[in-house]
Structure 1
Amino acid sequence: MPAETPTSLLTVFLLGVSLGLTACAATCLPFIGTLAFGKAGGRRAGLVDTGLFLGGRLLAYAMLGGLAGLVGAGFVKWLAGGLGNLVIGGVACLTALLLAAPPQKHHAVCGRPQKLASFPPFLLGVALTLIPCAPLATLLATAAAGPSAGQGALLGLVFGLGALLTPMLVLIPACASLGGHLRGDQPWLAGLLRQGAAVVLLLIGCRRIATLSPLAALLVLLCVLLAALLMHWRRWRTPRAPVFPLVFRAGAD
């Protein structure tokens, strides 16, 4: 009934808050916190990563709610079959590979962006919604019992807004700020922080994949390591062009 809609949305919002204030930080911080710390971009970069990460989660919750409303209860059972661990592990391994790649500085002339693009935090935000914990399972079951995909998407969006009230709003910038301070005080640590964070992300990503198939996790681990070695080998083999400084003379045209 229409009169029940505000109460239902409030209940869904509070359900999202219960997730954001409890399981969210424990589940997500090892992934996004490690990435922010390894990038060592400072507090401002950490705030950007926080926005991208939480934006990915919000979009994913709305999409999951819509799919549950469209497909029905079968979608909830399918999602609980382990797909989430596979996606989370794959995204974590991809992020580790990007983090371990040789850094490329911002080009002042052509404006080429840095090597690590903004999509890894966003992808991590999307992927880390795919484990149906108790609050999310309740949301999806409610959406699946609803009359349409649109209502399911609305419930997912309201749930996601509640889940945005999370300690991650503070923890992600704190990790980035800590990494930035370490890099600023000891510049030689920049590469070590980046490579160390990549190793951590690779290991926890493979651990997620191993819950479904240990052999697949081993293959992914070997492929990522081989790809990282190839990227560094190409950098070592690429000759560096000499740099000729421009000299401007007074009176010259």
Structure 2
Amino acid sequence: MPLVGTEGESLGALGAFLLGMSMGLTACTVTCLPFIGTWVMGRGRGGKAAAGDATAFLAGRVLAYGLLGLLAGLSGERLAGWLTGPAGNLAIGLASCMAAVWLLHGALPRLRPLLAPQGVALNFHPRRPAARAAVAGAGCAPARRADALPPFFLGAALSLTPCAPLGWLLTVCALSGSALSGLGSGLLFGTGAALSPLLVLLPLFGSFGRTLVEERRWLAGFLSAGAALVLLGLGVRRLLLI
């Protein structure tokens, strides 16, 4: 379904896909890795869990691009101007801070015994009931579904980062004047952007994080807390740009 611009230019399905892929293979990775890479490293759950986080992150991006295309088809060129304002930084800042709070919430129970008097020795015995309960809780289905929310929202928020390919896509969608056409082009653009080196890099980050804590259970809380502080700093920096 082609989208026709004022000068006769068209952006068909293949064009939208390739445009998204060109962004996903280049600038997208550089922009997103500090956020989602910090998240998977801080969790330290291994490559398989990191691959799940990557899937949630990229799903958030694809759906957000589809929604942006739909809104551009409805609202015209006003959406492109809205994204260059504070909205993008606000969404990214809030999503990053939310992910930081999520990580910190999970880190505190593991840090508390270490910081309490005479509590260090308890954390060097992973077979104790408390340690077994923590491991079991981390693997249950509701917990896994809940843990997918921060990367999903990070992906959706980072899709609001202004860039030339996204600006061109929104402009052409706006000129089409069709919400359905805009939605289709946005989803195809997002699918192309999802073909990113992040699919390889994030499992490596997750595996490295797990290696760090596998023989040092006491380090897990500090790793999560450190990652939370990095995400909080990235989020606050974005909010200060508003």
Q: Say if 2:13 is the partner of 1:9.
A: yes
Task: Kindly report which structure 2 residues correspond to 1:70-149, keeping only aligned pairs within 5 A, or say none.
Answer: 70-101=74-105, 102-103=108-109, 105=134, 106-107=136-137, 113=143, 117-149=147-179
Match of 2:234 in 1: 204
Q: Distance in 2 between matches of 1:82 and 1:52?
A: 25
Q: Distance in 2 between matches of 1:14 and 1:112?
A: 36
Provide TM-score, normalisation by structure 1: 0.78
Residues 87/6 of structure 1: CA separation in 2 closer, same or farther (3 Å cut): closer
Q: Decide whether the 8 Å contact of 1:99 with 1:116 is kept in 2.
A: no
Deviation at 1:147, TM superposition (A): 2.8
Q: Decide whether the 8 Å contact of 1:46 with 1:173 is kept in 2.
A: yes
Provide TM-score, normalisation by structure 2: 0.81
Q: Distance in 1 between matches of 2:193 and 2:79?
A: 21
Unmatched 5+ residue regions in structure 2? Answer: 110-132
The runs of at least 4 aligned residues of structure 1 exceeding 6 Å deviation read 4-7
Match of 2:197 in 1: 167
Q: What is the letter of the counterpart of residue 35 of structure 1?
A: W
Deviation at 1:9, TM superposition (A): 1.6
Unmatched 5+ residue regions in structure 1? Answer: 213-253
Q: Decide whether the 8 Å contact of 1:89 with 1:204 is kept in 2.
A: yes
Task: Kindly report which structure 2 residues correspond to 1:235-250, keeping only aligned pairs within 5 A, or say none.
Answer: none
Q: Greater helix percent: which structure?
A: 2
Q: Distance in 1 between matches of 2:201 and 2:230?
A: 18
> Matched residue pairs, number?
211
Residues 116/177 of structure 1: CA separation in 2 closer, same or farther (3 Å cut): farther
Match of 1:157 in 2: 187
Partner SS, residue 12 of structure 2: helix
Q: Decide whether the 8 Å contact of 1:19 with 1:135 is kept in 2.
A: yes
